[in-house]
Amino acid sequence: MGIRGKDRQIDNVEFNVSDIARSKAFYGSVFGWSFVDYGPTYTEFSDGRLTGGFTTGEPVRPGGPLIILYADDLEATQLRLKAAEATISREVFAFPGGRRFHFIDPDGYELAVWSAS
């Protein structure tokens, strides 16, 4: 079962970075963000209201961070996106803590949707 109250809301912002330590130092010193490390390729940040992550698991994306939405029912959300003619750019995959997929919106922006189940 997913997390109540977050269905169809922005849940996470993920930055692909080349150096996690440098990003932590930058955002920590400038904005006061706090961090929790989840291995050598991922750290979670919190600004006190929103959480996100820095990862070296994929190349740096020109154009900004990956916006990640939460869905209680990942498959139903994917079906709604396909019905709206979105392009699925990365099929459902598992990661520690859940599963997610990526899609391209009508203007070419890539977003992701994840679920804890």
How do the pLDDT tens digits run along the chain, 117 residues long? 344 558 888 888 999 999 999 999 989 988 899 999 999 999 999 988 889 999 998 888 777 889 998 999 999 999 999 998 899 999 999 998 899 999 998 878 899 999 998
Q: What whole-number distance in Å separates Cα of residue 116 and Cα of residue 74?
A: 9
Q: Which two tokens stand for residue 37?
A: 């490390």
Q: Report all structural domains of the chain as residue ranges with CATH numbers, in order of start.
A: 20-116 (3.10.180.10)
pLDDT of residue 92: 97
Kindly report the backbone phi and psi dihedral angles of residue 6, in degrees, each rounded to the nearest multiple of 5, phi listed first. Answer: -115, 0
